[in-house]
Amino acid sequence: MMEPEVCCGRNSALEDRIPSAKGLSLKELGERLRGKHYLGDGLSILVADQYWPGASVKAEEILSSLMAQHPLLMDWNGHLYVLYGAVFDEYVSYSGSNYHVIHTLLLVDTRFSDRRRYVSLIRETDDWAKVSGLLALTVTRNK
């Protein structure tokens, strides 16, 4: 989504959808962005979304998205953040199955451009119940 012709530069494919998204929940934002959009050169993109309510998010879902280099959008305490990294432990049980424990989520606060821009949600001190949800957006270019 860091391409100006896709989002969010002048005449981008999603330009008309972003300003009207203010005040929407992450789930509603995903629904609004979902579907086919046209670039300035006439080519199209397809946006797919996946939303997880805060209470149902599993560590594996977060980590698999991040390992695929797909940041997530997160609503924490009523503010929008970009979730771009995590500090976690991986455990292997005697049966051979793996499980993960996330200690810290690395976030970009979209409201700021100074040192306040980079924040962390720390499992031991912050309240996960204040995370209302996570949103994954996937953009595919049509040829």
Tell me the mean pLDDT in the region 20-49.
Answer: 81
Q: Are 19 and 32 in contact (CB under 8 A)?
A: no
53: in domain:
yes
Q: b/e per residue, 115-133, with b = 16+ CB within 10 A?
A: eeeebebeeeebeeeebbb
Within a domain: residue 11? no
The mean pLDDT value for 28-48 works out to 83
pLDDT at residue 94, rounded to an integer? 92
Look at 15 and 120; give whichever has higher pLDDT: 120
**Residue span of the structural domain in which 75 resides:** 19-141
Q: What is the number of structural domains in the chain?
A: 1
* 8, part of any domain: no
pTM confidence score: 0.79
Q: Which of 11-15, 76-80, 88-92, 119-123 has the lowest mean pLDDT?
A: 11-15
* In-domain check, residue 122: yes
Helix (H, G, I), strand (E, B) or coil at 134: strand
CA–CA distance, 49 with 105 (Å, rounded to integer)? 21
pLDDT confidence of residue 16: 52
- Position 45 in a domain: yes
Residue 100's DSSP bridge partners are 90
Q: How confident is the model at residue 6 (pLDDT cuts 50, 70, 90)?
A: very low
Q: Rounded distance, CA 107 to CA 71, Å?
A: 10
**pLDDT of residue 4 exceeding 80:** no
Q: Is residue 1 in some structural domain? A: no
Q: Is residue 5 part of a domain?
A: no
Half-sphere exposure of 6 (CA within 13 A, CB side): 15
**pLDDT at residue 22 in the model:** 64
Establish if 7 belongs to a structural domain.
no
Query: pLDDT, tens digit, for every residue of 47-94?
Result: 899 999 988 999 999 999 999 988 899 999 988 898 999 999 999 999
